[in-house]
Structure 1
Amino acid sequence: MDSVLTQVFLPVALGIVMLGLGLGLTVADFKRIVVFPKAVLVALVCQVLLLPAVCFGLVLLLDLDPTLAAGMMLLAASPGGTTANLYSHLFGGNVALNVTLTAVNSVLAIFTLPLVVNFALNHFLSGTDQIGLQFGKSLQVFAIVLIPVAIGMFIRARSVDFADRMQRPVRILSVVVLVLVIVGTLVSEKDNIATYFADAGLVALLFNVLSLGVGYFLPRLAGLDRGDSVAAAMEIGIHNGTLAIFIATTLLASTALAVPAAVYSIIMFFTAAAFGYLVRPARSERAEPALES
């Protein structure tokens, strides 16, 4: 991908996405862990531990190309995207739980994502020049994720009305940005795009369906109600593709590593909608806890 895109546009794009996340967060969203302790714990176990393990097993089972396999692991380690909140709302999920999970996952990913990515690079690409996410690059992830979120939270703390007015245009801009990032990634690899879709399309689809299924059915088995389970499914099944593409193309200097995230980001919008329709709560179950501050 062109250096202007990776060095200028992509960091700005990710900053907009994370700023939009921050505009919808307050300190109370982190404190809400004590309101949904079981739901948060179950969802985090699925997101942080189970999902990378499922992805690892899947790429081994399908004997995926090593670069694409490492790219899938990068995607699996990325936190949920802000779109998860919208999908949860549309299909009767507990949006308050989504907001809390997105907030907590975004912070945890700063520490867990480098571990998973370095493991994947060492396992699948040990014979290449990939050096992984060392301390300096991990600090860049920390900065590009948390600083815009903190700015957004600060803006909300100073003016809730302004933050509320800005959330919708920033969310729309975030979707536009994601589409542009995906298109830019795929265009930069246009000579290999058919091969990448042939190689990564199936694994991305299977991983997405498995992520949604794990995110929904394990919470149900753990005794959570349908609304909480829908929220967990959307959080776990909808990833922050912009972050994964940023890390691949900017910090790891590999557009090929970003292809699985780009392919997944296209697929997930359709599969998440279909899955949400299938498991949406009955009308009588759709009462949603208030997003108290």
Structure 2
Amino acid sequence: MSTQQLILSLVLATMVFSVALELKVEDFRRVAKMPRSVVCGLIPQFLLLPVGTWLATLALDLPANVEAAMMLVAACPGGSLSNYVTHYGRGNTALSVSVSAVASLMALVLTPFNFGWMMAANPATAAWLREIAINPNDIWISLALMLAIPMALGLTLSHHQPALAERIRKPLGNFSLLALLAFIALGLVAQRHLLNAAILPMLAIVVLHNGAGLLLGWVTSKAMGMSEPDKRAVMIEGGMQNSGLALGIIAVQFNADLGMVIIASLWGIWHIVSGMGLAIYWRKSDAGLAR
């Protein structure tokens, strides 16, 4: 591992650690009160979107690195930003927080598992991994370590030293995010001659991919008979993936491959646009009904 990759690994670990500091025992206790709703929120994230993404990559025949980025984003859990968007859109915020908490723990196993099987089960991405001499087993082990150790440390500190965890959570989170963005920005500047109109098809892919996540959240919640606030929470959880985590993994494991970086970066921008767009629409709809 190069010095740059080591630094990036530490930045990613810090990001995961800061996320774990946000998790509280109350977040998990609420799961016992609404288990069916929490399961409904997890199905689109860890089952439907990964399977749907894998099928889409088989059908579309995109460049292997673009397909790999789509798979990686689909394998990542929802980020904490989904909680704010759900709250703003007058969805069930408690459900959103509980789904995010459980998803963060499940991601320790399911993110590397889903990414691993999708890559191996797609002939194009499997051949691409062999071409760039990356061992799929090494990716699985590395992802598990980068997620599991900092997550366990963060949960331990949050439980035993809640005041300290609260004090350092935001500074650490801001630092790790800025550091990651700086690494990515430097890489994009170095490859700026490759950034041209060809980026537009990638944006279209991201918009459709994100739309699929939102739609799968809506279909799942509709099929399970959820209330309107619960539907909103599940939709947002299904369509707001942790693209920051995906960017960190791309930087460390794939040497900041430009195609993968562009997909994950566009995801990070677009899912905020789509999520907030939905939240604003819901607020206006509620206001109209209240008249």
Higher helix share: 2
- Structure 2 gap ranges (5+): none
Task: Return the alpha-carbon distance in structure 2 between the equivalents of residues 97 and 184 of structure 1.
Answer: 38
- Of the three residues 45, 66, 70, the one matched with 1:68 is 66
Task: Return the alpha-carbon distance in structure 1 between the equivalents of residues 223 and 179 of structure 2.
Answer: 37
State the aligned residue count.
Answer: 281
- Of the three residues 267, 271, 277, the one matched with 2:274 is 271
Shift of 1:38: 0.9
TM-score by length of 1: 0.82
Shift of 1:62: 4.0
Task: Return the alpha-carbon distance in structure 1 between the equivalents of residues 286 and 47 of structure 2.
Answer: 31
Q: Which residue of 2 aligns with 1:125?
A: 125
* Alignment check: 8 A CA contact 1:196 1:259 kept: no
Q: Which residue of 2 aligns with 1:214?
A: 216
* Alignment check: 8 A CA contact 2:90 2:282 kept: no
Shift of 1:79: 1.0
Secondary structure in 2 matching 1:25: coil
Q: Which residue of 1 aligns with 2:42?
A: 44
Deviations 1:252-286 (A, max 9, x none): 44513333112211211111110222234847x9x
* Alignment check: 8 A CA contact 2:213 2:238 kept: yes
Runs of 4+ in 1 over 6 A off after TM superposition: none
Query: AA paired with 2:274?
Result: T
Secondary structure in 1 matching 2:251: helix
Q: Which residue of 1 aligns with 2:163?
A: 161
Shift of 1:100: 2.2
Distance 1:188 1:116, change over 3 A: farther
Q: Which residue of 1 aligns with 2:78?
A: 80
Matched, 1:239 2:237: no
Q: Which residue of 1 aligns with 2:251?
A: 249
Shift of 1:223: 1.5
Secondary structure in 2 matching 1:151: helix
Distance 1:274 1:132, change over 3 A: farther
Percent identity of equivalent pairs: 25
- Structure 1 gap ranges (5+): 286-293
- Of the three residues 80, 103, 106, the one matched with 2:104 is 106
- Provide the alpha-carbon RMSD of the alignment: 2.9
Query: How is 1:153-192 mapped onto 2 (pairs within 5 angstroms)?
Result: 153-173=155-175, 175-177=177-179, 179-180=181-182, 182-192=184-194
* Alignment check: 8 A CA contact 1:219 1:229 kept: yes
